[in-house]
Amino acid sequence: TGIGLAPGAYTVTQRGQEGWDLHSLVCDHGAAVDLAGRTATVTLVRHQHTTCTFTDVDRSTLTVVPHPIEHRPYEVAIDDDGNVWGSLPDDDAVVKYDRTTGATTVVPLSGVDKPYGIVNGPDGNLWATGWGNDTVVRIDPDTGASTTFSTGADTDPWDVTVGPDAKLWIAGRICDCIIVVDPVTGRRTTRPAGVNDPFAPTVGPDGNVWVVGRLNDRIARLEPDGGHTSFKLTGMDSPNDITVGGDGNLWVAGYANDSIGRVDPATGEVTSWVLTDPLINGPNGVGTDAAGNVWIAGELNHRIGRIDLSAPPGLVRYDLSPIGRPLSLRTAADGTLWTAGSGGAHALGEIVLPAPDAGLSGAGAAPRRR
């Protein structure tokens, strides 16, 4: 802390602490930040007060870093600049978290009702679905300007992904269909989803799009030429999310019976396990980290687990209480996982994974801010 400093440029440096890594450095009036050098250069003007926050993490275990927001987020996406966006269905808006400055900005969406799904599009824009009024909206990540397109009457658009054709593939819940939207023209086509109440369209390692049916416990393989085949998710109830694991299989979260399923994309063979020991209650997000490991988030008991791909259903479980009710999991380029914390303290949740050589333990840690 410096008091009574004359106007001018000052450099603030953090002294390294053994066992802790500097994760982020943010100054509230802006600064030239050198994260590797643990320094921030701040230019002060007369009567100005500036605070720089150094956030350290313990890389021997998983660390949860909540970024509070005032609204309930549902899903997260990461733009081309590494910033994190969350859909805000209760506010007809999205929120942007700037990872460089630490600032959060709420962007209202005109003409959109209840945006749930959100994805970083192939055109560098964010795209969000309007479940309440059958729309999809294009959002400029720099200006927040938005353009809305119809997905067709009575479609109930929910989740959205970028397909193998660089178009948007949107799950239409009430029509049991997939709406394919050209991000350049906004033109759409519709095709059967092959399941009842489709969720989580995801591009598989085979180049097809896979989607789960929440109401009939099936998974469908959608071929780009229009064909589809569905498979029973035996032992699973209310599947709601899909990821591609480092083993080349599809991994599916089963919300209603606390299960995880593995699907061979070549054969459609399904193997599933109930995650009771340790418990992942209400799995509502499954994702893959940069190393190919599969993680599953439990909305109802605020936990996240890493699946042992070599011998399921073994997992290591960590506490996510600082962000509460995790929804969805997405991976940033730096290997951190992000989730929408929709509990009492709304937040975009940053999950810093253990260093590769740290081993695994279920303790977890909180960040240290100075």
The Cα–Cα gap between 212 and 230 comes to: 9
Rg (CA), the chain: 21
Question: What confidence category does residue 101 fall into, taking pLDDT thresholds of 50, 70 and 90?
Answer: confident
Domain of residue 188, CATH code = 2.130.10.10
Based on the fold, state whether residues 174 and 301 are members of the same structural domain: yes
**Within-domain flag for 1:** no
Residue 323 makes CB contacts below 8 A (sequence gap 6+) with 64, 66, 302, 339, 341, 343, 345, 347, 349
Two structure tokens written together for 315? 């997992």
What is the DSSP code (8-state) at residue 300?
A: T
Distance CA(23)–CA(367), nearest Å, equals: 9
Q: What is the pLDDT of residue 2?
A: 63
Its sign, for the CA torsion 275, 212, 291, 364, is: negative
Distance CA 325, CA 120 (A): 23
What average pLDDT does range 165-178 have in this prediction? 98
Per residue in 288-343, pLDDT (tens digit) is: 999 899 999 999 999 999 998 876 667 888 988 888 899 999 999 888 999 999 88
Q: In the prediction, which pLDDT does 312 show? A: 65
The whole-number average pLDDT for the span 177-192 is 97
Residues 154 and 263 in one domain: yes
What per-residue confidence (pLDDT) applies to 19? 67
Are residues 43 and 135 located together in one domain of the fold? no
List Cα–Cα distances, 223 to 57, 59, 206, 279, in angstroms.
Answer: 43, 41, 10, 35
pLDDT digits (tens, 9 = 90+) for 231-277: 999 999 999 999 999 999 999 999 999 999 999 999 999 999 999 88
Residue 100 scores a pLDDT above 90:
no
With pLDDT > 70 as the criterion, what percentage of the chain qualifies?
93
Under the banding of pLDDT at 50, 70 and 90, the label for residue 61 is confident
Q: Does residue 291 lie within any of the structural domains?
A: yes
The CA-to-CA distance between both ends of the chain, in Å, stands at 11
Mean pLDDT across 35-62:
81
Q: What is the pLDDT of residues 3-19, one digit of tens each?
A: 667 888 888 888 777 66
Tokens standing for residue 356: 């590769």
The residue type of 238 is S
Average pLDDT rounded to a whole number, residues 36-59: 81
Q: Which among 40, 57, 74 is the end of a domain? A: 57
Question: Do 14 and 109 share a domain, yes or no?
Answer: no
Confidence band for 28, pLDDT divided at 50, 70 and 90: confident
213 has pLDDT over 90: yes
Question: Model pTM?
Answer: 0.87
pLDDT at 169 over 60: yes
Same domain, 20 and 35: yes
The strand pairing partners of 211, in sequence order, are 220
Identify whether residues 29 and 91 lie together within a single domain.
no
**How many helices (H) and strands (E) are present in the chain, helices listed first?**
0, 34
Split at pLDDT 50, 70, 90, the class of 33 is confident
Asked, for residue 178, whether it belongs to a domain, the answer is yes
Residues 6+ away with beta carbon under 8 Å from 270: 219, 231, 232, 233, 234, 235, 236, 261, 262, 263, 264
Q: Is 173 a domain residue?
A: yes
Which residues, 6+ apart, have CB-to-CB distance to 260 below 8 Å? 251, 252, 253, 254, 272, 273, 275, 280, 283, 286, 296, 307, 312, 313
Answer whether residue 2 is part of any domain: no
Domain count for the chain: 2
pLDDT higher than threshold 60 for residue 359:
no
Report, as an integer, the average pLDDT of 204-213. 98
* Domain membership flag for residue 224: yes
Indicate the pLDDT class of residue 54, thresholds 50, 70 and 90. confident
List the one residue out of 262, 269, 207 whose CA is nearest residue 239: 262
Same structural domain for residues 237 and 364?
A: yes
Structural domain containing residue 111: 63-369
Please report the pLDDT score of residue 76 as a whole number: 98
Coil, helix or strand for 17? Answer: coil
Q: Report if residue 186 sits inside a domain.
A: yes
| CA dist., res. 116 & res. 40, Å (int) | 37
User: Average pLDDT of the chain?
Assistant: 90
In a domain, 238, yes or no: yes
